[in-house]
Amino acid sequence: MGTHARIENDFISIDTTAWLEQRTGGPIDDLTSDLHRWATARHRDTTSPISTSSPPRLGRRVWWETVVDWCGARGHASPDPSDPHAGPMLICHEMTRLDRDLWLARAVTPDGCPIVVAQLEDDAPSVYADDTREVTDWFDADTVDICCPGGHGWTWRTGRELLTAGGSFTTLTVVFGPNLDAPFSRCGDCQAYDLGRRSTSCRCDRSPWIVCPTCGQRCDVELTSR
């Protein structure tokens, strides 16, 4: 199992917190506190009793609207320099390889600091310094590396698209074969036991494997570095 990504029942799961840490320069506590105070004042009459020391308990979509309004009230502009009055750039990651739903609002403060407001599922959102160089990094919630202990490896972007270690484009079909389950396969010892070619089971957890097509070793997956 990789440190920040893992194989689970024929799909890949990425640690959302680690993914977010790759793209940010750390939390901005004073802006997060300001957002929560602003939301508390705005929704004081429409929510259950609220402690001034904690963020209001708002629904996910109410938070989304509140963040957009807060950005407007505080002068946090669009990250697109060609249209600074467009408001924050909104990105929603659902049904991706991230292990939690994630909502993002990218903006630039009045003094020119790039920020991103991030909400994990129904948690209260937090403000971070935006540390990305390419806006495409915020839209990529699927890319992982397939890592072989023998030194072979590929970058699996989405669907059946792969990149070789040298950066060339290829596909799962070319590298791992035409099986629609590729790159996943069952443990070879488990298959041998089921077919009667092995007298005892191997007692593994029977989770899917990715077997290196070059050397036959069991591969792992990891969040691609930036």
The Cα–Cα gap between 81 and 77 comes to: 9
Q: Write down which residue in 103, 132, 161 finishes a domain.
A: 132
- Strand 126-130 vs strand 144-147: parallel, antiparallel, or unpaired? unpaired
* Same domain flag for 154 and 189: yes
- Among residues 100, 96, 81, the alpha carbon closest in space to that of 18 is found at 100
23 CB neighbour count, 10 Å cutoff: 19
* Same domain flag for 108 and 165: no
**Cα dihedral: 2, 127, 140, 167 (round 10):** -70
Count: domains in the chain: 2
Residue with tokens 């077919």: 195
* Same domain flag for 53 and 156: no
- Tens of each residue's pLDDT in the chain, 226 residues: 578 999 987 789 999 999 999 999 999 999 999 999 999 999 876 554 444 557 888 889 999 999 999 999 999 999 998 998 899 999 999 999 999 999 999 999 999 999 999 999 999 999 999 999 899 999 999 999 999 999 999 999 989 999 999 999 999 999 999 988 899 987 766 766 677 777 777 766 567 889 999 998 989 999 998 8
Residue 8 lies in a domain: no
**Is the Cβ–Cβ distance between 145 and 138 less than 8 Å?**
no
* Same domain flag for 25 and 126: yes
* Same domain flag for 210 and 168: yes
Residue 190 lies in a domain: yes
Q: Write down which residue in 95, 110, 132 finishes a domain.
A: 132
Residue 139 lies in a domain: no
The Cα–Cα gap between 15 and 34 comes to: 28
Q: Which two tokens stand for residue 112?
A: 């020119």
* Same domain flag for 101 and 73: yes
Strand partners, 197: none
Residue 137 lies in a domain: no
* Same domain flag for 123 and 215: no
* Same domain flag for 120 and 157: no
Q: Write down which residue in 71, 101, 132 finishes a domain.
A: 132
Q: What is the pTM (predicted TM-score) of this model?
A: 0.87
Domain that holds residue 155: 144-223
Residue 5 lies in a domain: no
Residue 2 lies in a domain: no
Residue 80 lies in a domain: yes
